[in-house]
Structure 1
Amino acid sequence: TVIVESGSLMHDLLRSRGMGGSLALVPSEPEALRLLASGEFDCAVAPLLTGKMEIKRQGLEKIEPAGASIASVDLCFAVAKGREELLGDLDAGLEIVARTGAREVIYDRWFGALEPRGSTMGEVIRIGLWVVGPMVGLLGVALVWTRSLRRQVRARTGQLGAELAERKSAEAALRESERRFTQLAESISDVFWFAAWNPPEIKYVSPSFERIWGLPRSALYADPLIWQRSIHPDDRERVASKFRSFVLDTGKSLYEAEFRVIHTDGSVRWVSDRGAAIEVREGVVRQIAGIASDITRRKEDEARQSLMMQELDHRVKNNLAAVLSIAETTMAGSPTPSEFGEAFRGRILALARSHVALAESRWRGASLRGLIAQTIMPYQDDSGSAVELVGEEIEVTPGAAAAVSMTLNELCTNAVKHGALSRAENGARTKGRVRVEWRKYRAEEEMCWSSGDGDGERADNRSEGEMVEIIWSESGAPRNGAPWNGEPIREGMGTRLMKGLVGHELRGEIRFEFALEGMRCLVRFPQNRAG
């Protein structure tokens, strides 16, 4: 149902269009709008302009103009018949209104209220000043603050850049320092270690730990006290006590200890360990750093030097006694002073040669080949065939060197006087030969020979170690008219001296075999004989 003012132009228009049956007629347009606002009807038809004015006047907020115009109506001014002059006055008035600006006042009064209110330029300016002014002020403040902030940011950025560059430089220097430290710690033969204490923890240990202790570094990291358990039992408690005293007594600046370590392969290493506290808090040592050095060779040298001094003292006394004994023995067996001088000189030189050989080896021992060569090689002929040396490299102890050298000297002296190295009656060099062989073998039984065919000196002791055997063989000795049939004519002083040297000094035995082709001497003694 459509509400419409009865008898209005809208009523006539709708009725002419055949809608008279669905119309609700009211006496006035305002009444039509009030009924529509009450919700009793769906819609109302009214002129748009006057309808908007009435809606605003009555405050009918629930009504909104909808749809398009349903009729196109031309509006004009009308006057009563016979009053046409009023139209001319109305046109003149409208022109004045348009020219003076009063049109806006009339429009605003009757029509402007129906449209959204616009703002005048003054109002715009006032509003702009009221709103934009503070905003401009705030913008100015913000601009100033922003510029200040930018300056501060630039300054701080520069400062941070400098700090960052300095930090990067410090980090690079630290990395380089760490690289150098690692390179040094992992290339030296000593063990560098760094540890925390209370509770114990190994922070770092260099690779040399594995060489000295024979344990992997991972084992030490897992068990920080495993290094103490590898110490020799005779040294362990002493070292542990010294270490505990160091970490508990902060007045001690250094920890030092020398001890033996049992390597995993069973060998024993001497270690010099030195440490220092690098952090002490609340009177307790917290961190320690130190260096452990392998001093095995130094300890061996010290022991050898001590032994050498003892040996030297012993040798000097023995050598003095030996010189006196040689002098007495040589004098007793020498019919003339010249023979005494020659024999005594040769024996003292043999003793001296043994000392030279021992000095060259720092009294560790002497080369058997060297002792033999020094004694007999001066008698080698120009062809190099008079003397032949055959044997492996064997070292004899300092105690045995002098006795071996003097025994060889006696054999050589006898060969020069009576044997293969002697000269014919006319003084010519003979074709005699001397062959010296030596070897090392292992003996498990009593050291002796059967004395059925030869003349020998037997030792009473047994040997169960390495033995040294020297075989002196002569051939081509000149007869010089002597009625010699292969048996010794007599036992001279040299023979008695050799038997004493081998039997008593070397704890060995010597045997002589005499044949028509030449004399043969066999000497056997323990290699480890100390004299």
Structure 2
Amino acid sequence: MNGRPEHLPGLLGAAGGEAWPPSRAPDHDLRRQAFLLTLIDALRPLSDPVDVQRTTCELLANRLGVARVYYYAYDPGQHAGAILFDYASNGLPSLCGIDGGGDWPGSRDALAHGRDFVVYDARAETALSGEERAAMLSLGLVAIASVSVLKAGQLVGALCAADPAPRRWEALDLDILRDAADRTWVNVERAKAQEALRGSEQRFREFSRASSDVLWIRNAETMRFEFRSAAFETIFGTVGAGHAQGADGWRSLVVDEDLAAVQDGMERIRNGERLTREYRILRPTDGALRWIRDAGFPLTDDGGQVRRIGGIARDVTEEKETADRLQLLVSELQHRSRNLIAVVRALAERTLDEHPDVGAFREVFGQRMEALARAQGLLSRMPDASKVSFDELLNAELGALIGDDDEGRVFLDGPGVLLPYASVQTLALALHELTTNALKHGALAGGDGELTVRWEIRREERARLLFVDWRERVAHPRGSDATRMGFGRELIEQALPYQLGARTTYAFTEDGVHCTLLVPIDAGAAHGQSVQE
């Protein structure tokens, strides 16, 4: 940029026969230094690139006594440029956005090679092409002095002073322009970097405000928070910006059992590790115990020293509870599967004892498996296994074995009673045995019998119990087989009391079978017993 000026000898130069470059005045350096100091002081507090350019152009225009000073930005990659900012006095129109060099090949060539481009009077300058002269005069530029800004050997901009009247440019004018061009570039780049940083910080803050996680930064030496996102108060339950600001205040939120591990993790992060840890806090706003998953990492300076530590913390209480519930469900499923296998095995063995003949075994065992499958079907179709009701269970069994054939001889009466899961399977088998016995030997074996089933809720102290009254009426007894029920009776008199804490009665009356069940459906009932009549 300090190379030989590209002097196009214009009207004043031709008439006066002046030598180039112009001579320097005795106080040249002092006046140049004075302006440079003024410019530096004016630019120091500025951070906006537009303010930097505006101030530079205005100071230059006043110092040089010209009507216009502008900054031309050039993109060597695109081979294009435009006037980025200009200062114009006396009401002259702005040239911002105009390609102040696109039609000036002489100007661009000189500036690209580090030479100043100087014109005393464009109207009389013979070295200008007709297109260049017309372009300059159309913008009101009669006298112009331009100095280049080169970076890595490429033209990136130019600082230009211009006037609508002919002007003899002094050596001091050009030196001041060069000094201002250097300072303008430095300050524009600094301002651009600051603007980019502010934009980045703003985007970070917008992101942190929108995030449901806590973003935090601590001073690695004092462990005080330098930044906490808005979610901190929601998750950690602090009130006010100062609460839990320091290390001691934050540690007070961590439960005692987890504090040592948390402090050890912080030290490891301060020593350069990346670490994800989980711990519990007691949230002060509501006293809730919350699980926190905190991913911490070191933030180093250019020398690799850890100056700050940062992290992203998330409330994973619901996630932990879901995982615990899932584990409980898996354990329960395993338990129920083992229990179901044991029931099937017991049914097989008991049925084989009763029916050693393969054909009879196949029929009876198959019916019992179907009853078990119906109970499992009711359980599996419900979103909550505790929502199977007694009337559903009873209707499923009667409907499967009786259908509509005995309509008018079966009477059911009772409210909807929800059963706990543990009761459904055993009750289903008991109802199957009672129904099967009634079909084969009891009230439903012929056309003259009736079956009445009534049920209700009874209370004993704080416990609720389901009372079921199964009563068969037969006009003509069926003989000795009616008093036999084998496995079914054993199930009612022994399995229900043992497995469900039920109290049962089973009797053969003159009218037929009469069976009652009193089954706990809440915790707190006394252990069951069987009563024979």
Give the structure-1-normalised TM-score: 0.52
Contact 1:424 1:478 in 2 (8 A): no
Taking the TM superposition and a 5 Å limit, the aligned residue runs for 1:63-74 are none
- Following superposition, the deviation at residue 287 of structure 1 comes to 0.7
Given candidates 497, 504, 523, the residue that maps to 1:511 is: 504
Consecutive unaligned residues in structure 1, runs of 5 or more:
1-136, 445-466
Taking the TM superposition and a 5 Å limit, the aligned residue runs for 1:21-170 are 147-151=170-174
Consecutive unaligned residues in structure 2, runs of 5 or more:
1-23, 32-63, 65-166, 526-533
Q: Does 1:369 align with 2:388?
A: yes
More strand by share: 2
Q: Does 1:263 align with 2:256?
A: no
What amino acid is aligned across from residue 295 of structure 1 in structure 2? V
Q: 1:181 to 1:300 in 2, by over 3 A?
A: same
What amino acid is aligned across from residue 373 of structure 1 in structure 2? E
How many residues get paired?
354
Q: 1:273 to 1:469 in 2, by over 3 A?
A: same
- Following superposition, the deviation at residue 471 of structure 1 comes to 3.5
Q: 1:423 to 1:285 in 2, by over 3 A?
A: same
- Alignment correspondent of 1:322: 343
> Highest Rg: 1 or 2?
1
Q: 1:287 to 1:357 in 2, by over 3 A?
A: farther
- Following superposition, the deviation at residue 355 of structure 1 comes to 5.2
1:436 & 1:168 partners in 2: Cα distance? 85
Q: 1:368 to 1:414 in 2, by over 3 A?
A: farther
Partner SS state of residue 505, structure 1:
helix
1:344 & 1:480 partners in 2: Cα distance? 31
Contact 1:275 1:288 in 2 (8 A): yes
Contact 2:292 2:314 in 1 (8 A): yes
1:207 & 1:140 partners in 2: Cα distance? 61
Partner SS state of residue 186, structure 1:
helix
Summarize deviations over 1:137-183 as a string: whole Å, max 9, x none: 98999999985555556666677777777666655554443343333
Q: Does 1:290 align with 2:283?
A: no
Contact 1:389 1:436 in 2 (8 A): yes
- Following superposition, the deviation at residue 275 of structure 1 comes to 0.8
Contact 1:202 1:220 in 2 (8 A): no
Q: 1:345 to 1:425 in 2, by over 3 A?
A: closer
What amino acid is aligned across from residue 367 of structure 1 in structure 2? S
Q: 1:479 to 1:442 in 2, by over 3 A?
A: closer
Contact 1:192 1:290 in 2 (8 A): yes
Partner SS state of residue 203, structure 1:
strand
Give the structure-2-normalised TM-score: 0.52
Partner SS state of residue 276, structure 2:
strand
2:264 & 2:382 partners in 1: Cα distance? 41
Partner SS state of residue 177, structure 1:
helix
Given candidates 211, 230, 237, the residue that maps to 2:253 is: 230
Contact 2:292 2:313 in 1 (8 A): yes
2:307 & 2:27 partners in 1: Cα distance? 61
- Alignment correspondent of 2:465: 469
- Following superposition, the deviation at residue 199 of structure 1 comes to 1.1
- Following superposition, the deviation at residue 524 of structure 1 comes to 0.9
- Alignment correspondent of 2:266: 243
1:159 & 1:231 partners in 2: Cα distance? 56
- Alignment correspondent of 1:42: none
Alignment RMSD:
4.9
Q: Does 1:418 align with 2:418?
A: no
- Alignment correspondent of 1:300: 321
Given candidates 489, 496, 504, the residue that maps to 1:502 is: 496
Contact 1:201 1:221 in 2 (8 A): no
What amino acid is aligned across from residue 405 of structure 1 in structure 2? Q
- Alignment correspondent of 2:200: 177
Q: 1:295 to 1:149 in 2, by over 3 A?
A: same
1:423 & 1:277 partners in 2: Cα distance? 82
- Alignment correspondent of 1:407: 427
1:176 & 1:435 partners in 2: Cα distance? 76
More helix by share: 1
2:373 & 2:212 partners in 1: Cα distance? 41
2:466 & 2:326 partners in 1: Cα distance? 31
- Following superposition, the deviation at residue 194 of structure 1 comes to 1.5
